Structure formats: structure tokens, C-alpha cells
Amino acid sequence: MYAEELLSTLMQKRIVGQLPRVIKDVAIDSRSVQPSSLFICIKGFTVDGHDFAQKAVDAGATVIVTERLLQLEGEVAQVIVNSTDRTLGILAAKFFDYPSKDLTMIGVTGTNGKTSVAGIIHNIFVGLGEKSALSGTIGFNLNGVLYESANTTSDALNTQQMIFRAKMEGCRAMVMEVSSHGLQLGRLAGVDYDVAVFTNLTHDHLDFHGTMENYGNAKGLLFSQLGQDLEKNKHVVLNADDAWSARYAEMTPFPIWTYGINNDAIFKAENCRYENGMTYFDMITPEGTFPIAMHLLGEFNVYNVLAAMAVFYARQFPIEAIIEQIEKLPPVKGRMEKVDTELPIQIFIDYAHTPDAIEKAINAALPYKKRENKLIFLVGTGGGRDKTKRPTMAEKASVADYVILTTDDPRYEEFDSITGDLAKGMQHDNFTCIGDRAEAVKHAISIAEPGDIIIFAGKGHEDYQIIENTKYPHSDAQIAIEAGKLKFV
Ligand SMILES: CC(=O)N[C@H]1[C@@H](OP(=O)(O)OP(=O)(O)OC[C@H]2O[C@@H](n3ccc(=O)[nH]c3=O)[C@H](O)[C@@H]2O)O[C@H](CO)[C@@H](O)[C@@H]1O[C@H](C)C(=O)N[C@@H](C)C(=O)N[C@H](CCC(=O)O)C(=O)O
Ligand SMILES: Nc1ncnc2c1ncn2[C@@H]1O[C@H](COP(=O)(O)OP(=O)(O)OP(=O)(O)O)[C@@H](O)[C@H]1O
């Protein structure tokens, strides 16, 4: 792209030095700079990108976007702006030619259920024969190939690049998990969503947002940023059973599609039943009531498929075709996913790491447990992140017959500090604290008896445990199966 054209999007800037004719790439990481690139210096939480500007020049950057004039050696122009963070969104969207306008963009936000709802919507698109891309906690899924990503919602550059790649691969839609961090930090600048979905808002991430009010308002940006252009065919999907939905409904002029189980909603589930490893319910829709039988487990998944149904209905897909897909849906990876084993116990891998998700995961398993058997629940939490949620997590876990409190990416925090905080919330004495997660998993197997159910919560799809700043391979399922074979076979 011509440098002049790219930079014409910046209304407030000072250019020092001679601009090159073309820019071949945009980068924010000096380690991935290509020749003839524009490098934007981002002030991070750990380091300041301005300190890597010279490295970027050495690697071939010919334009540096900076908040102050830098002493740089080499042939390079500097573009001085007030905020490189904001500039990043503007330049990234322009560089990739605003790719979101060419796709049906669906954004899913909420404390719990983003990965599940986004994955369900993506799978329905694929089942209906529509090419769709998916981005979120599990990575970036483009035509079945999964690319790793560090964040649930990536930085603005990576976000625009993913959408561009989806467009170039011929995708018709892109489904994105939208985190509150992503919204607040401007990672979604320039993304023009067609449908915005809200799952729920409960305690999490208060280390970053401070209060629930701030956290809820950050999520609200997804709805307010849909804009005011009523000629656009945009839709908002809200959970009628979550009080925040009323607030979000006020933030947008676009049609609201509600879903829920308890309160009145356009898409409502009644007569939910959990039997024989299946979930059954009646789905009330604007076109009548439809009986559903699906493989996804638990009430929380009833909410998740209702949300997905509302998205497709709003976009005018026929109800019967969507239901056919819902009934075929496989479990979402690491979300109440049953481990296939020969063992005489049932093992579920789950990603619950908030108080609400723990409650929902346990409730999902309880209907499948016989009175004489135990529900064993193992849960950990991350080191150095929101500590205030720890006791409430254990309080919710107390519904299980036996609880094992452990760690989930302890980072630099001592095991005992994490499990000690969790233990403060326990409501009964049938629990133990084992900081080493592998040992904790083995302990769960050691106390299990035939017929028992174990939920390993918190790791979900992740195959590692972060101790200090190193990722060690770790799989709850593998450790459990090996320990189970020694015990039962
Ligand atoms: C606190 C936070 O959000 N940090 C994010 C931030 O990292 P950072 O501020 O530490 O960046 P930094 O390492 O200081 O680097 C600053 C700049 O210098 C550049 N740099 C750095 C080193 C170098 O050699 N050369 C160089 O140019 C970097 O590329 C960057 O542009 O920018 C990175 C790149 O965009 C993110 O990956 C990183 O997310 C970290 C991994 C993270 O854990 N974030 C969490 C808090 C988060 O955002 N979570 C949400 C919610 C998840 C949920 O819902 O559960 C999410 O969306 O993931
Ligand atoms: N709609 C829901 N309501 C409450 N809990 C849910 C819901 N959907 C899933 N869960 C629970 O929350 C856990 C995390 O689900 P999921 O990964 O879909 O959420 P998420 O919002 O993407 O979380 P994260 O951003 O941390 O990845 C699941 O393993 C399950 O226990």
C-alpha cells in the first residue's frame, strides 16, 4: 500500500523524515518486522514498544509510528501521534482494507459461554455448508486449521489480519469471542459487527476492571459500538435471564432478540430434561414449539444453543435447518466434554474457572449421578490474577460431594497461597488441598469408586500448566486415564 494513502487516515500527526513510497507490512513486534514495514510502538504492560524501535529499523522498518521523537539510526521516517494504541486500530483496519465489511461478523461477549456459543455458531454455519472462521480462546480456526493465539481477543493488528485472511479464504462469516479486555483496550477498533451476542455477566477479571460496574460497562461497548446506521441489518442477542441485558438493550437502536429459560423471551426453553447422556427440551420460538434432543450437556448449554438459534433466526435462516444442526452438535472442546474411557467412572473435562461456571458445570453433571455415587470436583485457579473470586469459587464447588482444591497456572504464586484462599470458601469438610495439579488429579482417581463422576475443572482445552513463566505439558485427562488404568484395570 502507498505510505501516503495509509497515513492519510491519521488526521493528527507530525511526520519527521522522508516517507517511503510503499509500505509492505504493518508490525507491532520488532521480532516479526519485514523489510519495508511500518512499525507501531505500543506501550505494553510489561515493556514499551518504543524501546524496540531501533530493532525494528534494523530489521527493515522504514516508518516508525511513535508518541515521541526517537533517536534512530538508519533511513526511517517517524510519524508522531498522540496515542499509538488508537493509531494501531486505524492503520490496521486501513491496511487490510476494512475486511469486516465484507463478512457477516458475529461477536460474542459475556463472562462464561463465549467459547461455547461462538463454537456452536461456527459449527452450525459449517453444518449448513457456509464457510465460517472462528477466533477466540481456543485459537483462530480457518477452514478447519487451528492457529494458536495468545488472547481470547487478539490485538487490533492480529484481529484485522485474521478477518482479512477469512475474507481471502472465501468465508462468508466470522464468529469472534469478544473479551472485556479486548473491548476496553481497543483491540476491536474498526471491526464492524453485524450481530452482537451477550451470554451473561458474573464475577471475573476484577483485577483488571476493579468493579462489576466497570466490567459490565466494558462489555457494553460491543453493543454501543454497533453504531446508529439503521440502514444496516444489525441484530443484538441478549440473555433475558441476566439483569445486564436490560442495560445493553438501551445501548443500541438495533432489534433485540432475547433468549432464556426463566423470564419471558423470544426463544425460550421449557421442560429441560437431562437423561441418558443427552439433553432434551422444548424450544419456544416465534414459529411455534420444537422438541430438541442434543448431545451437549447441562442447562448452560441450553442457554448457549438458544443464543445460537436467535443469531441464525435473526439472519433469516429457516428454523428447521438450524434445529437439525443443533441436534448434531458435538461437545465443545474442554467444555463438559466426556472423556472416552473403559473405566467404571465418568470423567468430564471442563473449563469452569469462575464461581458461576463452577455452579453451572456441577449442575450439568448432577442429573447423571445416582444417589449412592459421589460427584468429585477438582478445581484450581490462576496465580497472580483476580484473587477475590477464589473463596466464592470454592463455595460453589461445595455442592459436590468431595472437592479437590488445586492450582491452574500458578505462575509466580505459592501453591498454598492459592489453595488457602480457595479453602476459605468451602462449606463442608469433604475436601483436600493439593497444589501440584498432577498429584491432585491422581488423588481424585484414588478416591473414586465405580459409578462416581469426576469433573476436572479449569483447564478445559489447555494442554499445559504455567509455573513461573514456563509452560509445562499437562493433561488432566491423560493423567486421570493412566491413574485409572492402574487402579481399576
Ligand atoms: C495484560 C495484557 O492484556 N497484556 C497483553 C499485552 O501484553 P503486554 O502489554 O505485556 O505487551 P508487552 O509484552 O509489554 O509489549 C509491548 C509492545 O512491545 C512489543 N515488543 C515486545 C518485545 C520485543 O522484543 N519487541 C517488541 O516490539 C510488543 O509486540 C508490544 O507491541 O499485549 C499482548 C499482545 O497484544 C497480549 O498478548 C497481552 O495479553 C496477555 C497474554 C494476557 O494475559 N492478557 C489477558 C489479561 C487478557 O487480555 N485476557 C483477555 C480476556 C480473557 C477471558 O475472557 O478470559 C483476552 O482477551 O485474552
Ligand atoms: N452460558 C453459560 N453460562 C454459564 N456457564 C457457562 C456457560 N457456557 C459455558 N459455561 C461454563 O463456563 C466454562 C467456560 O465456558 P466457555 O469457555 O464457553 O466460556 P468463555 O466465556 O469463553 O470463557 P473464557 O473467556 O474464560 O475462555 C465452561 O466450561 C462451563 O463450565
CA-to-CA distance for 323 and 310, rounded, in angstroms? 11
CB of 113 shorter than 6 A to ligand 2: yes
**What's the gap between Cα 256 and its chain centre?**
23
How far, in Å, from the CA of 59 to the mean position of ligand 1?
Answer: 22
How far, in Å, from the CA of 153 to the mean position of ligand 1?
Answer: 11
Nearest-atom number in ligand 2 for the CA of 119 is 18
Position 188 scores a pLDDT of 96
Q: In what order do the strands lie in the sheet with 453-457?
A: 337-338, 346-350, 453-457, 375-381, 402-407, 431-433
**Complex ipTM:** 0.95
How far, in Å, from the CA of 461 to the mean position of ligand 2?
Answer: 12
Beta strands in 19-131 (DSSP E): 25-27, 37-40, 61-66, 77-80, 104-109
CA-to-CA distance for 339 and 318, rounded, in angstroms? 34
CA-to-CA distance for 307 and 199, rounded, in angstroms? 8
Q: Scanning the structure block, which residue is given the C-alpha cell 464468529?
A: 175
CA-to-CA distance for 333 and 414, rounded, in angstroms? 29
How far, in Å, from the CA of 44 to the mean position of ligand 1?
Answer: 7
- All structural domains of the chain: 3-95 (3.40.1390.10), 99-326 (3.40.1190.10), 337-488 (3.90.190.20)
CB of 121 shorter than 6 A to ligand 1: no
CB of 145 shorter than 6 A to ligand 1: no
Position 333 scores a pLDDT of 86
219: confidence class by pLDDT, cuts 50, 70, 90: very high
How do residues 391-428 score in pLDDT, each as one tens digit? 999 999 999 999 999 999 999 999 999 999 999 999 99
Position 9 scores a pLDDT of 95
Percent of the chain with pLDDT over 70: 100
**What's the gap between Cα 165 and its chain centre?**
20
How far, in Å, from the CA of 197 to the mean position of ligand 1?
Answer: 25
Nearest-atom number in ligand 1 for the CA of 150 is 37
CB of 239 shorter than 6 A to ligand 2: no
Ligand nearest to the CA of 113: 2
Ligand nearest to the CA of 28: 1
In the DSSP assignment, the letter for residue 397 is H
Q: Give, using CA atoms, the residue closest to atom 4 of ligand 1.
A: 45
For the record, the C-alpha cell of 132 comes out as 465460517
39: confidence class by pLDDT, cuts 50, 70, 90: very high
Report whether pLDDT(136) > 80. Answer: yes
Q: What is the SS3 assignment for 8?
A: coil
How do residues 244-301 score in pLDDT, each as one tens digit? 999 999 999 999 999 999 999 999 999 999 988 899 999 999 999 999 999 999 999 9
Of 340, 339, 362, residue with least CA distance to 457: 362
**Measured between alpha carbons, how far is residue 301 from residues 69, 158, 472 in Å?**
53, 30, 31
